[in-house]
Amino acid sequence: MTQYKILFVDEVDEDIRRFQRYVNKEDTDKAFSLVCLTPENTLDNFLNKIRDERFDAIITDHKLNEENSNISFDGLELVKEILDETPQFPCFILTSFDSEAVTQGEDVNIVYIKGLMNGDTDGDHANFLNKIEHQIKHYRSRISNAEEELLKLIEKSNTKDLNAEEEARLLELDGFIEKSTNKKSALPEQLKGTKNLDALHVLIANTDKLLEELKRENAGPSPKL
């Protein structure tokens, strides 16, 4: 069975152990490989630490600096940076302060109450890992669909010119795939906006030609009074 590598981030050792116990108990199919980390003091240092680990999802505590004032960021800031770098990546925030996290966060659907690990929330106790797995599969599906659509557009560009909407979509897909998979751009360099640039050059040339013709006409003999 496919194993998903997930990261849990918390500054409290007991909360880390509690999440480990939760996963060990609920992950009966052994679908998850769990890595637990305490945050570095700065966000940049922590991002550098996890960036190349190729996690499938990240679960973080909300108040990462509640018991360690040296930590200069919280879970919301961590998730924001991850999503800025890797749009739509599966992220989850666990918190005892749900109203504050929801108010401060941009996506209420990624905020969950820590009590779910104790069965304190109706139905969520057994379903949280399922939600993580669902989001991972959904994210992978989006990447796969984007790669398929991108390939079709590249193949089409080999036989005919793409219209402006198709060119914009091609660049959008390429950017999403590059950010999501850490792959080098799939686009040949000649497809990266060169058609739009060429069209702009033609427009400028035609405009210059028209201006020259107008100048010549205006430079003719002045009309007699």
pLDDT, one tens digit per residue, over 129-188 is 989 999 999 999 999 999 999 889 888 888 888 888 988 898 889 888 888 876 655 555
Q: What is the pTM of this model?
A: 0.74
Question: What range defines the domain where residue 160 resides?
Answer: 139-218
Residues 122 and 150 in one domain: no
CA-to-CA dists, residue 42 to 49, 113, 161, angstroms: 11, 25, 48
- Residue where the block lists tokens 């010549």: 216
Domain boundary among 126, 158, 189: 126
Residues 67 and 164 in one domain: no
Computed over every residue of the chain, the mean pLDDT equals: 78
- Structural domains in the chain (count): 2
CATH number, domain with residue 108: 3.40.50.2300
Residues 30 and 122 in one domain: yes
Helices and strands in the chain: count of H runs, count of E runs: 7, 5
Domain boundary among 126, 150, 169: 126
Domain boundary among 96, 126, 156: 126
- Taking the C-alpha atoms of residue 98 and residue 113, their distance in angstroms, rounded to an integer, is 6
